[in-house]
Amino acid sequence: MTGTVLVTGGTGYIGGEVIDQLLAKGYSIHTTVRNTEKSEPRLRERWPDAGDRLKIFQADLMSDKGWAKANEGCDAVAHVASPFPLAVPKNKDELVVPAREGTLRALRFAKDAGVQRFVQTSSAAAIAYGQRHKNNFDHTDWTNIEAGVPPYIESKTVAERAARDWVAENAPEMVFCSVNPVAVFGPVVNDDLSTSIEMVKQMCDGSIPAIPNMGISVCDVRDVAEAHVRAIEAPADKVRGERFPTATRFMWMTEMGDAIRTRAPEFAAKVPTRKMPDWVVKLLAMFVPTMKQVKSELGNVREVSGAHTEDVLGFKFIDPEQSLEDTLRSLVEHGIVKV
* Residues 33-42: tens digit of each pLDDT: 999 999 999 9
At residue 86, the pLDDT reads 47
At residue 318, the pLDDT reads 97
Per-residue CA distances from 217 to 163, 200, 317 (Å): 25, 14, 13
In whole angstroms, what is the distance from residue 332 CA to residue 200 CA?
12
The H or E element that residue 103 is part of is helix 93-112
In whole angstroms, what is the distance from residue 154 CA to residue 179 CA?
17
The H or E element that residue 76 is part of is strand 76-79
In whole angstroms, what is the distance from residue 228 CA to residue 78 CA?
7
User: What is the pLDDT tens value at each position of the chain, 339 positions in all?
Assistant: 579 999 999 999 999 999 999 999 999 999 999 999 999 999 999 999 999 999 999 999 889 999 999 999 999 999 998 765 545 556 677 778 888 999 999 999 999 999 999 999 999 999 999 888 888 999 999 999 988 888 888 999 999 999 999 999 999 999 999 999 999 999 999 888 888 898 899 889 988 888 888 889 999 999 999 999 999 999 999 999 999 999 999 999 999 999 999 999 999 999 999 998 878 768 877 766 666 667 767 768 899 999 999 999 999 999 999 999 999 999 999 999 887
At 18 the three-state DSSP class reads helix
Amino acid at 221: V
| Residue 275 CB neighbours (<10 A) | 13
End-to-end CA distance of the chain: give it in Å, rounded: 45
303-334: b or e for each residue (b if 16 or more CB lie within 10 Å)? bbbbeebbebbeeebbebbebbbbbbbbbbee
In whole angstroms, what is the distance from residue 24 CA to residue 26 CA?
6
At residue 279, the pLDDT reads 82
Contacts of 22 (CB under 8 A, 6+ apart): 5, 7, 29, 229, 232
Smallest Cα–Cα separation from 303: which of 161, 182, 211? 182
In whole angstroms, what is the distance from residue 47 CA to residue 291 CA?
36
Strand spans (E) along 83-167: 117-121, 136-137
Task: Kindly give the residue spans of alpha helices, DSSP state H, lying in 172-306.
Answer: 195-204, 221-233, 236-239, 253-263, 278-284, 289-297
- The whole-chain average pLDDT of the chain stands at 91
Identify the CATH number of the domain defined by range 4-185+219-246+304-314: 3.40.50.720
Per-residue CA distances from 333 to 69, 326, 339 (Å): 38, 10, 11
Domain ranges of the chain: 4-185+219-246+304-314
In whole angstroms, what is the distance from residue 232 CA to residue 238 CA?
11
